[in-house]
Amino acid sequence: MRLEGQVCIITGGGSGIGRGAALMMAEEGATVVIIGRTASKLASVEAEIAITEVSGTTVSYTLDVSDYNAVEAMVADVLEKFGRIDVLVNNAGHSSHNRRLLNTTPEEVHSVIDSNLIGTFFCTQAVVPAMLKAKSGTIINISSLAAVTPGPFSGFAYGAAKAGVINFTEFLNADLRNTGIRASVIVPGEVATPILDKRPIPPDAEARTLMVDVDETSAAILLIATLPQRSNIPELVIRPTMHRNMAGEVVELDD
């Protein structure tokens, strides 16, 4: 029960990496607060955790992380109910259907930047005062290899937003040095999550088996969250071991 007594907020907690992290943190005894825009998905995760009979508990809030007033109200309610916030996982985000420079719409650009980057800003700003008061806290931001390998495959808005997440994590560790708060960024390669279905050409089931698994990324989140507070992993990169070349053949990553 490495997180027993701790309160962990996870954005994008209704599916994918957020769901996986919520399950693992609840198993470790945490009170898990899952955030998302779709109430039915959050309720499903709550029910899933409840039937596993883990020692941790789960509550959910339906909101858009780019709405600062909603985020601030959520954090205030969490503090009123539980009195503390120990971990924030900024996982919420999505990509656009269109990804090229000239076909991505202004609405898609705003949506991608808002969910991946602005939401990360707002949630962090909202929880840090409580962490400063406690002189302890862990902020885990989820980026992507799209941040360091930009191209039309991932899209310009998504790659730029995720690059901003890496930069913001470095900023946090500089700005909050010696306060007891630590920030980490996880930079996974392709992860087999529902976000892949938004691609112009979604990968098939076989291609997804070569990707990083949700459980592996969630385990990395748990690793960082359970480190002794004196230690930090500022950046953790997760790459798939195998990939396909231009001919569609499965090869080792460094071939």
* Catalytic residue ranges: 158
Whole-angstrom CA distances from 226 to 18, 80, 147, 193, 222 are 17, 24, 26, 24, 6
What is the distance between the alpha carbons of residues 179 and 231, in angstroms, rounded to a whole number? 13
Q: How far apart are CA 234 and CA 24, in angstroms?
A: 21
Cα of 208 vs its chain's centroid, Å: 19
Distance CA 19, CA 193 (A): 10
SS (H, E, C) 141-198: EECCHHHCCCCCCCCHHHHHHHHHHHHHHHHHHHHCCCCCEEEEEEEECCECCHHHHH
Laid out side by side, the sheet with 137-142 consists of 57-62, 31-36, 7-11, 87-90, 137-142, 181-188, 235-238
Report d(CA 184, CA 172) in Å as an integer.
9
Report residue 194 CA to chain centroid gap: 14
